[in-house]
């Protein structure tokens, strides 16, 4: 049945048409080879840049966006070259892509938005690997940044994948955008009648003696307000990073409690006095009023 068909005939069989250009089996093979070459070159350049920039002393946070953008740019250029090799012009390809986009409708809008947001985020350097960020109730270290999403690793070693559009269009906190150290506040209330100067001195000593509190900037103590049942103070100090705050706060609370006990300083709790307009009458155990 196939005795009259040569390998060359199979190689040149018309498979389909794209933008007015007939694509054969040979074209598909050449296109795949061109894509493989593009991926190999892009990865080689990426690894070469990573090694070269690290040797020059560049930080990982600085070089990662540049390497990512270079890698994706080379891939896009490789795809463009692959289409041109098989004779499909860019204008025709874009026209065909537009038709496909209309057919698919709005299904790819979110994917496209996330990819564009990823490129802009990497270009601006707003989010870098190693940064500690907080978005809504999620706080953690940026583990990886990609074209579609950003991966955050929390303190509990959970990995949260956030679409890039969320980071690009919404407000979030970057604790390490400029430097690692962050400020933290520790509040405490003492009973009315306490010696406020003595309380201030104790809190200063606690702040200076707590492991993890930086000497510069120096810790400060503020008498914040006269609250409903306490005199409220706050310690303002700096720690090495955002993940240090919980540990430092816990140590500081232990030390404050110990020092206050030694000095006889009371930490009050809210109390309420209840007054009855009419006199209450005590009843006996059998429900009768006492004689």
pLDDT tens digits along 79-133: 888 877 777 766 655 555 554 554 445 555 677 777 778 777 777 777 888 888 8
Check if the beta carbon of residue 19 is closer than 8 Å to that of residue 89.
yes
- Kindly report the pTM of this predicted structure: 0.57
Burial 89-116 (b: 16+ CB within 10 A, else e): eeeebeebeeeeeeeeeeeeeeeebbbe
Which option is the CATH number for 182-263: 3.30.70.100, 3.20.20.70, 1.10.300.10, 3.40.50.261? 3.30.70.100
- The whole-angstrom separation of Cα 259 and Cα 262 is 5
- For the stretch 29-52, pLDDT in tens is 888 888 888 888 888 888 888 788
The pLDDT confidence band at residue 176, using thresholds 50, 70 and 90, is confident
| 30 to 24, 40, 131: CA distances (angstroms) | 10, 15, 42
Token pair 């006990």: residue: 261
Domain 127-174's class? mainly beta
Domain ranges of the chain: 10-122, 127-174, 182-263
Token representation of residue 234 = 């706050």
- Residue 201 pLDDT greater than 90, yes or no: yes
């Amino acid at each position: 049945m196939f005795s009259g068909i040569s390998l060359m005939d199979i190689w040149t069989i018309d498979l389909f048409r794209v933008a007015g250009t007939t694509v054969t089996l040979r074209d598909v093979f050449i296109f795949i080879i061109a894509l493989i070459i593009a991926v190999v070159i892009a990865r080689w350049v990426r690894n070469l840049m990573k090694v070269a920039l690290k040797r020059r002393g560049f930080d990982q946070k600085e070089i990662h966006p540049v390497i990512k953008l270079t890698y994706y740019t080379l891939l896009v250029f490789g795809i463009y070259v692959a289409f041109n090799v098989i004779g499909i012009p860019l204008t025709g390809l874009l026209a065909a892509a537009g038709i496909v986009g209309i057919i698919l409708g709005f299904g790819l809008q979110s994917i496209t938005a996330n990819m564009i947001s990823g490129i802009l985020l990497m270009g601006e350097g707003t989010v870098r690997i190693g940064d500690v960020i907080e978005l809504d109730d999620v706080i953690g270290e940026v583990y990886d940044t990609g074209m579609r999403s950003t991966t955050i690793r929390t303190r509990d070693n959970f990995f949260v994948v956030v679409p890039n559009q969320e980071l690009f269009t919404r407000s979030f906190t970057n604790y390490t955008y400029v430097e690692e150290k962050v400020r933290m506040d520790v509040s405490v209330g003492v009973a009315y009648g306490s010696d406020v100067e003595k309380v201030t001195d104790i809190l200063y000593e606690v702040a200076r003696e707590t492991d993890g509190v930086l000497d510069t900037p120096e810790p400060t103590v503020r008498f914040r307000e006269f609250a409903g049942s306490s005199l409220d103070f706050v310690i303002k100090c700096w720690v090495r990073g955002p993940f240090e705050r919980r540990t430092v706060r816990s140590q500081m609370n232990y030390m404050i409690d110990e020092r206050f006990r030694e000095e006889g300083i009371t930490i009050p709790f809210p109390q309420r006095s209840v007054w009855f307009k009419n006199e209450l009458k005590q009843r006996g155990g059998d429900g009768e009023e006492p004689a």
